[in-house]
Structure 1
Amino acid sequence: MREPQQDRSRATRQRLLEAAIECLADVGWAGSTVAVVAERAGVSRGAAQHHFPTREDLFAAAVDYVSDVRTEWIREHSADLPSGRERTKAVVDLVVRMYTGQVFRAALHLWVAASSDPQLRELVVPLEAHVGRAAHQLALDLLGVDESTPGVRETVQATLDLARGLGLANLLTDDGKRRARIVERWAEMLDASLNTLA
Protein backbone atom coordinates (compact mmCIF):
# COMPACT_ATOMS: atom_id res chain seq x y z
CA MET A 1 0.00 0.00 0.00
CA ARG A 2 1.37 3.40 -0.96
CA GLU A 3 2.04 5.91 1.76
CA PRO A 4 -0.31 8.91 1.45
CA GLN A 5 1.31 11.98 -0.12
CA GLN A 6 0.81 14.08 3.01
CA ASP A 7 2.61 11.49 5.19
CA ARG A 8 5.48 11.25 2.67
CA SER A 9 5.73 15.03 2.58
CA ARG A 10 5.80 15.22 6.39
CA ALA A 11 8.46 12.50 6.55
CA THR A 12 10.59 14.30 3.93
CA ARG A 13 10.32 17.57 5.86
CA GLN A 14 11.31 15.79 9.09
CA ARG A 15 14.35 14.19 7.40
CA LEU A 16 15.43 17.59 6.06
CA LEU A 17 15.17 19.23 9.50
CA GLU A 18 17.11 16.41 11.16
CA ALA A 19 19.74 16.54 8.41
CA ALA A 20 20.01 20.32 8.84
CA ILE A 21 20.78 19.87 12.53
CA GLU A 22 23.31 17.13 11.80
CA CYS A 23 24.99 19.29 9.16
CA LEU A 24 25.19 22.29 11.48
CA ALA A 25 26.70 20.14 14.22
CA ASP A 26 29.18 18.42 11.88
CA VAL A 27 30.24 21.06 9.35
CA GLY A 28 28.94 24.37 10.73
CA TRP A 29 26.94 27.09 9.06
CA ALA A 30 29.27 27.69 6.11
CA GLY A 31 29.22 24.03 5.08
CA SER A 32 25.50 23.55 5.59
CA THR A 33 24.10 24.37 2.18
CA VAL A 34 20.69 23.23 0.96
CA ALA A 35 22.41 20.76 -1.40
CA VAL A 36 24.46 19.23 1.45
CA VAL A 37 21.41 18.96 3.69
CA ALA A 38 19.32 17.41 0.89
CA GLU A 39 22.01 14.84 0.15
CA ARG A 40 22.29 13.92 3.84
CA ALA A 41 18.51 13.64 4.07
CA GLY A 42 18.43 11.38 1.01
CA VAL A 43 16.21 13.67 -1.04
CA SER A 44 16.74 15.67 -4.19
CA ARG A 45 17.67 19.32 -4.03
CA GLY A 46 14.39 20.06 -5.80
CA ALA A 47 12.44 18.25 -3.08
CA ALA A 48 14.33 20.22 -0.44
CA GLN A 49 13.53 23.49 -2.19
CA HIS A 50 9.90 22.46 -2.51
CA HIS A 51 9.69 22.36 1.30
CA PHE A 52 12.13 25.20 1.94
CA PRO A 53 12.55 27.58 -1.03
CA THR A 54 15.66 29.25 0.45
CA ARG A 55 18.48 28.34 2.78
CA GLU A 56 17.11 30.84 5.30
CA ASP A 57 13.71 29.12 5.19
CA LEU A 58 15.35 25.76 5.85
CA PHE A 59 17.41 26.94 8.77
CA ALA A 60 14.62 29.07 10.21
CA ALA A 61 12.57 25.89 10.41
CA ALA A 62 15.60 24.04 11.77
CA VAL A 63 16.02 26.68 14.51
CA ASP A 64 12.41 26.10 15.53
CA TYR A 65 12.93 22.33 15.37
CA VAL A 66 16.12 22.60 17.45
CA SER A 67 14.13 24.46 20.10
CA ASP A 68 11.46 21.79 20.22
CA VAL A 69 14.00 18.95 20.29
CA ARG A 70 16.00 20.51 23.13
CA THR A 71 12.91 21.09 25.26
CA GLU A 72 11.49 17.63 24.56
CA TRP A 73 14.85 16.00 25.31
CA ILE A 74 14.84 17.48 28.82
CA ARG A 75 11.26 16.40 29.43
CA GLU A 76 11.94 12.82 28.30
CA HIS A 77 15.06 12.47 30.42
CA SER A 78 13.56 13.98 33.56
CA ALA A 79 10.90 11.34 34.17
CA ASP A 80 12.87 9.07 36.51
CA LEU A 81 14.95 11.45 38.61
CA PRO A 82 15.85 10.32 42.14
CA SER A 83 14.83 12.20 45.27
CA GLY A 84 16.82 13.99 47.96
CA ARG A 85 20.38 15.18 47.43
CA GLU A 86 20.84 12.82 44.51
CA ARG A 87 18.08 14.67 42.68
CA THR A 88 20.07 17.91 42.57
CA LYS A 89 23.04 16.10 41.06
CA ALA A 90 20.78 14.32 38.55
CA VAL A 91 19.19 17.63 37.50
CA VAL A 92 22.57 19.32 37.07
CA ASP A 93 23.83 16.34 35.08
CA LEU A 94 20.71 16.42 32.89
CA VAL A 95 21.08 20.13 32.16
CA VAL A 96 24.79 19.74 31.38
CA ARG A 97 24.11 16.82 29.04
CA MET A 98 21.61 18.99 27.17
CA TYR A 99 24.37 21.53 26.52
CA THR A 100 27.01 18.98 25.51
CA GLY A 101 25.01 17.13 22.87
CA GLN A 102 24.61 17.45 19.11
CA VAL A 103 21.58 19.72 19.32
CA PHE A 104 23.49 22.32 21.36
CA ARG A 105 26.41 22.06 18.93
CA ALA A 106 24.02 22.79 16.05
CA ALA A 107 22.40 25.66 17.97
CA LEU A 108 25.84 27.12 18.70
CA HIS A 109 26.70 27.24 15.00
CA LEU A 110 23.45 29.10 14.44
CA TRP A 111 24.32 31.59 17.21
CA VAL A 112 27.71 32.28 15.66
CA ALA A 113 26.24 32.70 12.17
CA ALA A 114 23.45 34.90 13.55
CA SER A 115 25.97 37.20 15.21
CA SER A 116 26.96 38.51 11.76
CA ASP A 117 23.75 37.84 9.80
CA PRO A 118 20.93 40.24 10.78
CA GLN A 119 18.25 38.21 8.98
CA LEU A 120 19.23 35.01 10.78
CA ARG A 121 19.61 36.90 14.08
CA GLU A 122 15.97 37.99 13.85
CA LEU A 123 14.99 34.32 13.77
CA VAL A 124 17.45 32.98 16.34
CA VAL A 125 17.17 35.54 19.16
CA PRO A 126 13.47 35.08 19.97
CA LEU A 127 13.68 31.30 19.65
CA GLU A 128 16.72 31.10 21.92
CA ALA A 129 14.97 33.36 24.42
CA HIS A 130 11.99 31.01 24.36
CA VAL A 131 14.20 27.92 24.83
CA GLY A 132 16.11 29.66 27.62
CA ARG A 133 12.87 30.46 29.46
CA ALA A 134 11.64 26.90 29.00
CA ALA A 135 14.93 25.42 30.25
CA HIS A 136 14.91 27.78 33.24
CA GLN A 137 11.32 26.90 34.17
CA LEU A 138 12.00 23.19 33.75
CA ALA A 139 15.08 23.43 35.99
CA LEU A 140 12.98 25.21 38.64
CA ASP A 141 10.33 22.50 38.40
CA LEU A 142 12.82 19.63 38.53
CA LEU A 143 14.64 21.14 41.50
CA GLY A 144 11.33 21.86 43.23
CA VAL A 145 12.17 25.49 43.97
CA ASP A 146 10.26 28.75 43.69
CA GLU A 147 11.96 31.59 41.84
CA SER A 148 10.01 34.18 43.81
CA THR A 149 12.36 33.34 46.71
CA PRO A 150 15.19 35.91 46.58
CA GLY A 151 18.33 34.44 45.04
CA VAL A 152 16.73 31.30 43.57
CA ARG A 153 16.30 32.70 40.04
CA GLU A 154 19.95 33.78 39.84
CA THR A 155 21.20 30.51 41.33
CA VAL A 156 19.27 28.41 38.82
CA GLN A 157 20.36 30.70 35.97
CA ALA A 158 23.98 30.29 37.08
CA THR A 159 23.50 26.53 36.70
CA LEU A 160 22.26 26.96 33.13
CA ASP A 161 25.12 29.35 32.32
CA LEU A 162 27.64 26.90 33.79
CA ALA A 163 26.14 24.13 31.63
CA ARG A 164 26.52 26.28 28.49
CA GLY A 165 30.13 26.96 29.37
CA LEU A 166 30.79 23.25 29.83
CA GLY A 167 29.16 22.68 26.45
CA LEU A 168 31.55 25.16 24.86
CA ALA A 169 34.53 23.50 26.55
CA ASN A 170 33.43 20.19 25.05
CA LEU A 171 33.37 21.41 21.45
CA LEU A 172 36.98 20.75 20.54
CA THR A 173 37.94 17.91 22.86
CA ASP A 174 36.15 15.40 25.06
CA ASP A 175 35.99 17.16 28.39
CA GLY A 176 34.06 14.37 30.13
CA LYS A 177 36.34 13.61 33.08
CA ARG A 178 36.78 17.22 34.15
CA ARG A 179 33.11 17.92 33.49
CA ALA A 180 32.01 15.04 35.76
CA ARG A 181 34.02 16.49 38.66
CA ILE A 182 32.56 19.95 38.08
CA VAL A 183 29.00 18.59 37.91
CA GLU A 184 29.56 16.75 41.19
CA ARG A 185 30.93 19.83 42.97
CA TRP A 186 28.40 22.24 41.49
CA ALA A 187 25.53 19.96 42.54
CA GLU A 188 26.83 20.03 46.13
CA MET A 189 27.10 23.80 46.06
CA LEU A 190 23.70 24.21 44.39
CA ASP A 191 22.00 21.93 46.89
CA ALA A 192 23.55 23.83 49.84
CA SER A 193 22.67 27.18 48.29
CA LEU A 194 19.06 26.26 47.54
CA ASN A 195 18.61 24.86 51.06
CA THR A 196 19.94 28.12 52.50
CA LEU A 197 17.61 30.17 50.30
CA ALA A 198 14.52 28.05 51.04
Structure 2
Amino acid sequence: MGAVTPAERLERATPGDRESKQDREPKQDRSRATRQRLLEAAVACLAELGWARSTVSVVAERAGVSRGAAQHHFPTREDLFTAAVEYVAEQRSHALREVSAKTRAEVVAALVDLYTGPLFRAALHLWVAASHEEQLHARVAELEARVGRETHRIAVRLLDADESRPGVRETVQGLLDMARGLGLANVLTDDTARRERVVRQWGELLDEALG
Protein backbone atom coordinates (compact mmCIF):
# COMPACT_ATOMS: atom_id res chain seq x y z
CA MET A 1 0.00 0.00 0.00
CA GLY A 2 1.43 3.39 -1.03
CA ALA A 3 1.97 6.39 1.23
CA VAL A 4 -1.08 8.45 2.04
CA THR A 5 -0.97 11.89 0.45
CA PRO A 6 -1.83 15.09 2.38
CA ALA A 7 -4.97 15.44 0.27
CA GLU A 8 -6.07 11.91 1.18
CA ARG A 9 -5.40 12.55 4.88
CA LEU A 10 -7.54 15.67 4.72
CA GLU A 11 -10.30 13.73 2.91
CA ARG A 12 -10.26 10.97 5.53
CA ALA A 13 -10.29 13.39 8.46
CA THR A 14 -13.50 13.70 10.41
CA PRO A 15 -15.38 17.02 10.27
CA GLY A 16 -14.23 17.73 13.81
CA ASP A 17 -10.61 17.18 12.82
CA ARG A 18 -10.94 19.50 9.84
CA GLU A 19 -12.67 22.18 11.88
CA SER A 20 -10.02 22.09 14.60
CA LYS A 21 -7.28 22.57 12.01
CA GLN A 22 -9.18 25.37 10.32
CA ASP A 23 -9.94 27.08 13.65
CA ARG A 24 -6.46 26.80 15.15
CA GLU A 25 -4.95 29.81 13.43
CA PRO A 26 -7.93 32.15 14.05
CA LYS A 27 -7.82 31.11 17.74
CA GLN A 28 -4.12 31.96 17.87
CA ASP A 29 -4.88 35.31 16.24
CA ARG A 30 -7.59 35.99 18.82
CA SER A 31 -5.22 35.05 21.62
CA ARG A 32 -2.56 37.45 20.32
CA ALA A 33 -5.18 40.18 19.96
CA THR A 34 -6.36 39.62 23.55
CA ARG A 35 -2.80 39.77 24.85
CA GLN A 36 -2.21 42.99 22.91
CA ARG A 37 -5.38 44.60 24.33
CA LEU A 38 -4.33 43.63 27.85
CA LEU A 39 -0.87 45.13 27.43
CA GLU A 40 -2.23 48.36 26.00
CA ALA A 41 -4.85 48.57 28.75
CA ALA A 42 -2.19 47.94 31.42
CA VAL A 43 -0.02 50.74 30.04
CA ALA A 44 -2.98 53.13 29.95
CA CYS A 45 -4.03 52.21 33.49
CA LEU A 46 -0.54 52.68 34.86
CA ALA A 47 -0.22 56.06 33.15
CA GLU A 48 -3.62 57.30 34.30
CA LEU A 49 -4.24 55.54 37.63
CA GLY A 50 -0.82 54.59 38.98
CA TRP A 51 0.25 51.26 40.43
CA ALA A 52 -2.03 51.07 43.47
CA ARG A 53 -5.26 51.45 41.49
CA SER A 54 -4.19 49.40 38.46
CA THR A 55 -5.44 45.96 39.44
CA VAL A 56 -5.81 42.99 37.10
CA SER A 57 -9.60 43.40 37.27
CA VAL A 58 -9.39 47.06 36.24
CA VAL A 59 -7.09 46.25 33.34
CA ALA A 60 -9.27 43.33 32.20
CA GLU A 61 -12.37 45.53 32.25
CA ARG A 62 -10.61 48.22 30.23
CA ALA A 63 -9.40 45.63 27.74
CA GLY A 64 -12.90 44.18 27.41
CA VAL A 65 -11.97 40.69 28.59
CA SER A 66 -12.74 38.61 31.67
CA ARG A 67 -10.40 38.46 34.65
CA GLY A 68 -9.94 34.75 33.92
CA ALA A 69 -8.82 35.51 30.37
CA ALA A 70 -6.36 38.07 31.72
CA GLN A 71 -4.92 35.56 34.18
CA HIS A 72 -4.64 32.96 31.42
CA HIS A 73 -2.17 35.25 29.65
CA PHE A 74 -0.60 36.74 32.78
CA PRO A 75 -0.95 34.55 35.91
CA THR A 76 0.11 37.30 38.34
CA ARG A 77 -0.20 41.06 38.57
CA GLU A 78 3.59 41.34 38.43
CA ASP A 79 3.64 39.27 35.22
CA LEU A 80 1.09 41.59 33.63
CA PHE A 81 2.73 44.88 34.46
CA THR A 82 6.29 43.74 33.83
CA ALA A 83 5.15 42.57 30.40
CA ALA A 84 3.39 45.90 29.93
CA VAL A 85 6.55 47.87 30.61
CA GLU A 86 8.52 45.54 28.35
CA TYR A 87 5.91 46.33 25.71
CA VAL A 88 6.49 50.03 26.41
CA ALA A 89 10.22 49.50 25.98
CA GLU A 90 9.70 47.76 22.65
CA GLN A 91 7.49 50.60 21.46
CA ARG A 92 10.07 53.18 22.56
CA SER A 93 12.88 51.32 20.79
CA HIS A 94 10.77 50.92 17.66
CA ALA A 95 9.99 54.63 17.66
CA LEU A 96 13.70 55.43 17.98
CA ARG A 97 14.67 53.10 15.17
CA GLU A 98 12.11 54.84 12.94
CA VAL A 99 13.55 58.31 13.60
CA SER A 100 14.69 59.96 10.38
CA ALA A 101 16.21 63.07 11.94
CA LYS A 102 18.71 64.96 9.81
CA THR A 103 20.27 67.12 12.52
CA ARG A 104 21.43 66.39 16.05
CA ALA A 105 18.86 68.86 17.38
CA GLU A 106 16.15 66.73 15.77
CA VAL A 107 17.63 63.60 17.37
CA VAL A 108 17.58 65.31 20.76
CA ALA A 109 13.93 66.29 20.23
CA ALA A 110 13.02 62.70 19.30
CA LEU A 111 14.77 61.31 22.38
CA VAL A 112 13.06 63.83 24.66
CA ASP A 113 9.68 62.96 23.14
CA LEU A 114 10.17 59.37 24.32
CA TYR A 115 10.30 60.55 27.91
CA THR A 116 7.38 63.00 27.84
CA GLY A 117 4.49 60.80 26.68
CA PRO A 118 2.17 58.25 28.26
CA LEU A 119 4.60 55.38 27.65
CA PHE A 120 7.19 56.97 29.90
CA ARG A 121 4.55 57.91 32.46
CA ALA A 122 3.46 54.26 32.67
CA ALA A 123 7.04 53.07 33.10
CA LEU A 124 7.59 55.69 35.79
CA HIS A 125 4.71 54.37 37.90
CA LEU A 126 6.17 50.88 37.70
CA TRP A 127 9.63 52.12 38.72
CA VAL A 128 8.13 53.75 41.82
CA ALA A 129 6.23 50.57 42.69
CA ALA A 130 9.36 48.46 42.14
CA SER A 131 11.30 50.63 44.59
CA HIS A 132 9.28 49.15 47.48
CA GLU A 133 7.67 46.01 46.00
CA GLU A 134 10.16 43.16 46.43
CA GLN A 135 8.50 40.93 43.83
CA LEU A 136 8.83 43.64 41.19
CA HIS A 137 12.22 45.09 42.01
CA ALA A 138 14.57 42.56 40.42
CA ARG A 139 12.43 42.10 37.32
CA VAL A 140 12.01 45.81 36.65
CA ALA A 141 15.66 46.59 37.39
CA GLU A 142 16.83 43.94 34.91
CA LEU A 143 14.35 45.14 32.31
CA GLU A 144 15.34 48.79 32.64
CA ALA A 145 19.05 47.90 32.41
CA ARG A 146 18.33 46.16 29.12
CA VAL A 147 16.19 49.04 27.88
CA GLY A 148 18.89 51.52 28.85
CA ARG A 149 21.56 49.65 26.88
CA GLU A 150 19.33 49.46 23.81
CA THR A 151 18.37 53.14 23.99
CA HIS A 152 22.02 54.15 24.37
CA ARG A 153 23.03 52.02 21.39
CA ILE A 154 20.34 53.54 19.17
CA ALA A 155 21.19 57.07 20.33
CA VAL A 156 24.85 56.55 19.42
CA ARG A 157 23.84 55.50 15.92
CA LEU A 158 21.40 58.38 15.43
CA LEU A 159 23.93 60.92 16.66
CA ASP A 160 26.73 59.38 14.56
CA ALA A 161 28.82 59.46 17.72
CA ASP A 162 32.31 57.92 17.89
CA GLU A 163 32.54 56.42 21.36
CA SER A 164 36.21 55.61 20.91
CA ARG A 165 36.85 59.30 21.52
CA PRO A 166 37.28 60.42 25.16
CA GLY A 167 34.12 61.68 26.80
CA VAL A 168 31.74 60.80 23.96
CA ARG A 169 30.07 57.91 25.75
CA GLU A 170 29.48 60.08 28.82
CA THR A 171 28.08 62.86 26.62
CA VAL A 172 25.53 60.51 25.07
CA GLN A 173 24.56 59.14 28.48
CA GLY A 174 24.26 62.68 29.81
CA LEU A 175 21.85 63.45 26.97
CA LEU A 176 19.66 60.47 27.90
CA ASP A 177 19.75 61.45 31.59
CA MET A 178 18.72 64.98 30.61
CA ALA A 179 15.84 63.65 28.47
CA ARG A 180 14.63 61.53 31.38
CA GLY A 181 14.81 64.55 33.68
CA LEU A 182 12.67 66.58 31.29
CA GLY A 183 10.19 63.72 31.27
CA LEU A 184 10.00 63.82 35.07
CA ALA A 185 9.48 67.59 35.03
CA ASN A 186 6.62 67.15 32.59
CA VAL A 187 4.73 64.80 34.93
CA LEU A 188 3.50 67.63 37.14
CA THR A 189 3.35 70.60 34.75
CA ASP A 190 3.39 71.32 31.03
CA ASP A 191 7.06 72.13 30.52
CA THR A 192 6.90 72.56 26.73
CA ALA A 193 8.36 76.06 26.39
CA ARG A 194 11.41 75.45 28.59
CA ARG A 195 11.87 71.99 27.11
CA GLU A 196 12.10 73.40 23.58
CA ARG A 197 14.85 75.83 24.65
CA VAL A 198 16.78 73.05 26.37
CA VAL A 199 16.50 70.81 23.29
CA ARG A 200 17.89 73.54 21.02
CA GLN A 201 20.78 74.18 23.41
CA TRP A 202 21.63 70.48 23.62
CA GLY A 203 21.63 70.23 19.84
CA GLU A 204 24.30 72.95 19.69
CA LEU A 205 26.30 71.39 22.53
CA LEU A 206 26.32 67.98 20.79
CA ASP A 207 27.52 69.49 17.52
CA GLU A 208 30.46 70.96 19.42
CA ALA A 209 31.16 67.88 21.54
CA LEU A 210 30.77 65.22 18.85
CA GLY A 211 32.22 67.12 15.89
TM-score if structure 1 supplies the norm length?
A: 0.92
The alpha-carbon deviation at position 190 of structure 1 amounts to 1.6
- Is the partner of 1:81 in helix, strand or coil? coil
The alpha-carbon deviation at position 115 of structure 1 amounts to 0.4
How far, CA to CA, are the matches of 1:189 and 1:178 in structure 2?
17
How far, CA to CA, are the matches of 1:180 and 1:141 in structure 2?
23
Comparing 175-184 with 53-62, which one deviates more in the overlay? 53-62
1:105-139 Cα offsets, whole Å, 9 max, x none, are 11111110000012101111111011111111111
2:196 partner letter: A
- Choose which of 82, 104, 107 in structure 2 pairs with 1:60: 82
- Is the partner of 1:17 in helix, strand or coil? helix
How far, CA to CA, are the matches of 1:131 and 1:95 in structure 2?
14
Matched, 1:81 2:81: no
How far, CA to CA, are the matches of 2:169 and 2:149 in structure 1?
11
How far, CA to CA, are the matches of 1:50 and 1:181 in structure 2?
48
- Choose which of 186, 194, 200 in structure 2 pairs with 1:170: 186
How many matched pairs? Answer: 189
Matched, 1:116 2:129: no
1:148-171 Cα offsets, whole Å, 9 max, x none, are 211000000000000000000000
- Is the partner of 1:21 in helix, strand or coil? helix
- Choose which of 118, 132, 157 in structure 2 pairs with 1:102: 118
Conserved in 1, the CA contact under 8 Å of 2:46 and 2:122?
yes
Q: Which of structure 1's runs of 4+ aligned residues deviate more than 2 A?
A: none
The alpha-carbon deviation at position 68 of structure 1 amounts to 1.1
Conserved in 1, the CA contact under 8 Å of 2:162 and 2:210?
no
Matched, 1:150 2:166: yes
TM-score if structure 2 supplies the norm length?
A: 0.86
Alignment identity in percent?
65
The alpha-carbon deviation at position 183 of structure 1 amounts to 0.5
Which residue number corresponds to residue 10 of structure 2? none
Q: Looking at CA atoms only, which structure, 1 or 2, has the larger radius of gyration?
A: 2
Matched, 1:139 2:155: yes
Which residue number corresponds to residue 11 of structure 1? 33
**Runs of 5+ consecutive residues of structure 2 not aligned to the other structure:** 1-21
Which residue number corresponds to residue 54 of structure 2? 32
How far, CA to CA, are the matches of 1:152 and 1:62 in structure 2?
33
**Runs of 5+ consecutive residues of structure 1 not aligned to the other structure:** none
How far, CA to CA, are the matches of 1:96 and 1:64 in structure 2?
19
CA RMSD, 1 decimal: 1.4
The alpha-carbon deviation at position 60 of structure 1 amounts to 2.1
2:145 partner letter: A
How far, CA to CA, are the matches of 1:193 and 1:160 in structure 2?
15
Which residue number corresponds to residue 72 of structure 2? 50
